[in-house]
Chain A
Amino acid sequence: MFAPTRTIARNTFREAVRDRVLYNLVFFALLLIGGAIFLGELSGGQEAKVIVDLGLSATLLFGVFIAIFVGVGLVYKEIERRTLYAILSKPVGRGEFLGGKYLGLCLTLLVNVLVMGAGVSLALAYVAGGRNPLVLHIWPTILLIYLELTVITGVALLFSSFSTPALSALLTFLVFIIGHLSADLKSFAASMGGTATRWFFSGLYYLLPNFSHYSFITPAAHGYVPSFAELIMALLYAGVYVIVLLSAATLIFSRRNFK
């Protein structure tokens, strides 16, 4: 039933591998191993915390860069190379094309996040001799990071469906920043005098992705494990948000004239 989507997803993943997107993993592994050795000297007995903070922050940051810079080029490259015409001349809907591209990049990000998470766990096991409970406790937070990345990929795909790669990258990065400042949007809304302004900021708060639901890196470094309910809610939120983003992207993309 979803054969075209699956094929496009597989090819998108292969393309990302061919484009050496996963090379960053080598850099990341070296960064963590080097960090684990040197930070012990610098952190005053806080090696585990620093490794979790550094490792998970790098996982998020690398993931965001991949989601943005690969995500914004997904559609544009196909148009530029004119391969899109060949694809769309076959029985492949524009929604299926976008869905396939999205899933392919999500698969790339999943490999990235899993390898990076394993790197953090190994570094923790190295500094604590394998006895640190954080080795396992960080994984729910890694899942939340991945969910955040899936939303960012959706945002990048939405912008790239109607804009240039440079502008799409900029707008997606701004959404990432705003998504992490959503608490400020809420307090802005609460502090505004006029009803219209309050509604405007409240609207922005609820409509823009709220990434504070996925920000558990700092608590994770203290051993905090998000509850099952928090994970399920975050999964639902990401799922719904991605459906909205892909629907909007398909809506815009299906109206584009490529003649």
Chain B
Amino acid sequence: MKRNHRLDAALSLLILLGFTAVVCLSRSMDARHQDVFAASEERLYLKGTTAKRLSLAFNGLAADWYWMRSLQYVGGKVVRYEDTHPEQAQLDDLGALDLRLLPSLLRVATTLDPQFMAPYEYAAMILPTFSRDEAISLLHDGIEQNPAAWRLYQHLGYIYWQSHDYAKASETYDAGAKLPGAPRWMAEMSARTAAEGGSRQAAREMYQHLYDESNDDQVKQLLERRLMQVDSFDERDRIRRALQNYAARFGRCAASWREVAGQLQTLQLRLDPVTAAPLDPSGTPYVLTKKGCDVDLDLNSRVPYR
């Protein structure tokens, strides 16, 4: 009996030591093979059609896996970028991140499950800055597979609008507006992009509708920032006019926000209670530039600069 206890203890110790050794060895091997892993990250082993065939009845689950892998891929690149750069990566301007695998990942996800709308939306938001043609191609394939999905027309129209192709954007919105179940604003967007595609009002409506339709928190955050940007453009125009009026009346530009606080209050802008600086839509005070003759965003503001 005593001997058995001793044997049990010895075996338990052996298991513990064995596991410790396995962990140490594994870490050592990972460190040695980091270069190999880095290279293999940039490769997809399966085409969408092959993956679909191999997934049997589980193609939906496989599509989810590729979708989540897409999100992890972008997230990983963003984290690495922010670790090595002082500025934050913005979701709608990820050209610097070298997301070469993203179009393929999204394509595999949509080939496995052509009715899966989230990858199309993500493609419309993320891909155009570095792979516009791939984004358009993916959306066209999506429309082919889901001819009744008006949201895909909305996303495709957004891609064209972003690239200032207002005629095509209008045409796409118009095609989507004719589908059963499409909301009335699709037709309104078609008319708006045709008549005044580059206007702020068109942009505001575009972002607002995309925001209302999206379920993706990341996409919603991106659109929220774009909406703040459009509002900020309007606000800066109004502040600029106030600064010009001040300069015209006193023959010099304002030395501080306090000097124009009265005028700014009449413009219904939110002011900082201490400095009287107007606050941008993210709540960060605007800054006076050109010796008080102009206004700009603070560098720490969440409102996109471009």
Q: Is the CB of B53 within 8 A of A43?
A: no
* Main SS at interface, chain B: helix
Residues of A within 8 A of B56 (CB): 176-177, 180-181
Q: Does A197 contact B (CB under 8 A)?
A: no
Residues of A within 8 A of B72 (CB): 42
- Scan residues 97-114 of chain B and give those whose CB is less than 8 A from a CB of chain A: 113
| A: number of interface residues (CB 8 Å) | 27
In the complex the two chains form, what is the Cα distance from A222 to B110 in whole Å?
A: 13
Given known A44-B218, A45-B118, A45-B217, contact A215–B57 (CB-CB < 8 A): yes
Q: Does B61 contact A (CB under 8 A)?
A: yes
In the complex the two chains form, what is the Cα distance from A218 to B61 in whole Å?
A: 8
A39-64: CB near B (< 8 Å → 1, else 0) gives 10011111001101110010011000
Tell me which of B59, B64, B67, B115 has the highest count of chain A C-beta atoms within 10 A of its own C-beta. Answer: B64
Closest A-chain residue to B60, C-beta based? Answer: A218
Given known A54-B64, A218-B113, contact A46–B118 (CB-CB < 8 A): yes
Residues of B within 8 A of A221 (CB): 60, 113
Q: Does B233 contact A (CB under 8 A)?
A: no
Closest chain A CB from B157 CB (angstroms)? 22
Q: How large is the interface on B (under 10, 10 to 19, 20 to 34, 35 or more residues)?
A: 20 to 34
A216-237: CB near B (< 8 Å → 1, else 0) gives 0111011000000000000000
Q: Is the CB of B115 within 8 A of A222?
A: yes
Q: Does B216 contact A (CB under 8 A)?
A: yes
Residues of A within 8 A of B218 (CB): 44
B200-227: CB near A (< 8 Å → 1, else 0) gives 0000000000000011111000000000
In the complex the two chains form, what is the Cα distance from A39 to B64 in whole Å?
A: 10
Q: Is the CB of B58 within 8 A of A42?
A: no
In the complex the two chains form, what is the Cα distance from A215 to B218 in whole Å?
A: 32
Q: Does B63 contact A (CB under 8 A)?
A: yes
Q: Is the CB of A45 within 8 A of B215?
A: yes
Q: Is the CB of A217 within 8 A of B57?
A: yes
Which residues of chain A have a CB within 8 Å of any CB of chain B? 39, 42-46, 49-50, 52-54, 57, 60-61, 176-177, 180-181, 184, 211, 214-215, 217-219, 221-222
What are 24 A-B contacts defined by CB distance under 8 Å? Answer: A39-B68, A42-B72, A43-B64, A43-B67, A43-B68, A44-B216, A44-B217, A45-B118, A45-B214, A45-B215, A46-B67, A49-B60, A49-B64, A49-B118, A50-B64, A50-B68, A54-B61, A177-B56, A180-B56, A214-B57, A217-B60, A218-B59, A218-B60, A218-B63
